[in-house]
Amino acid sequence: MTISENKIYPRTGDTQTVYLKNVITSDRIKIGDYTMYNDFVHDPWEFEKNNVLYHYPINGDQLQIGKFCSIACGAKFLFTSANHAMYSLSTYPFPIFFEEWGLDVKEITSAWDNKGDIVIGNDVWIGFEAVILSGVTIGDGAIIGTRAVVTKDVPPYTIAGGVPAKPIRKRFSDDVISELLKLQWWKWSENRIKKNIAAIQSGRIGDLE
């Protein structure tokens, strides 16, 4: 059992920050250990309702977030049902209103383009009110800037920002990124992580034990 296994609040007296996996009820949302969400506007317990949007069961799409991620207040994950079919001559979602137009309810998903799951790696920082769209994968160690709108995949250890979000720069050299992806420190035991916190914070990969 990890420190975060059943604990809701990582910090004594701070009810705005939660270990996210312990307040999730949907089996289509998978959250890794220690990933935390802070919300100073709404109750962070309402993450599923306020932050995971258009996540309808009919599509079967998932939100997957790895370990040790930091998700800032108001970050949104916008799923497939927010889309409208671009190949159609009209963006009006006729299949949703199948009763009105005498359409087959089984065709309701043709009202939108299905982009698929949202997959967030480990140790990802998602900034204040950033929006992640369906079908996007964000690599380990990436940083998503404040109010960015992420429409395309973001490589590991890359800082991305803007509307639409674009890569700004890599956090480290290619050699260091390659080594970090091999090490996958987020899979280490708690004792090994504790032993290496100072080295991790120093930014010197050679100090890791």
Distance CA 48, CA 69 (A): 16
- Does the structure show a pLDDT above 90 at 75? yes
Positive or negative: CA dihedral 30, 36, 42, 45: positive
pLDDT-based confidence at residue 5 (cuts at 50, 70, 90): confident
Distance CA 26, CA 59 (A): 14
Full DSSP string of 31-60: E-TT-EEE-SSS-GGGHHHHHEES--GGG-
Q: Quick one: 87 and 126 in the same domain?
A: no
CATH number of the CATH domain containing 14: 2.160.10.10
Q: Quick one: 4 and 99 in the same domain?
A: no
| pLDDT value for 113 | 86
| pLDDT value for 3 | 72
Give the strand pairing for 17-19 and 36-38.
Answer: antiparallel
- Does the structure show a pLDDT above 90 at 16? yes
Mean pLDDT score of the chain, rounded to an integer?
A: 95
Q: Quick one: 68 and 152 in the same domain?
A: yes
Q: Quick one: 156 and 183 in the same domain?
A: no
- pLDDT tens digits along 157-193: 999 999 999 999 999 999 999 999 999 999 999 999 9
Percent of the chain with pLDDT over 90: 84
| pLDDT value for 136 | 98
| pLDDT value for 209 | 79
- pLDDT tens digits along 85-116: 888 999 999 999 999 999 999 899 988 888 89
Find the domain containing 200 and state its range: 173-209
Q: Quick one: 70 and 128 in the same domain?
A: yes
| pLDDT value for 13 | 95
Q: Active-site residues: which are they? A: 84
Distance CA 163, CA 148 (A): 6
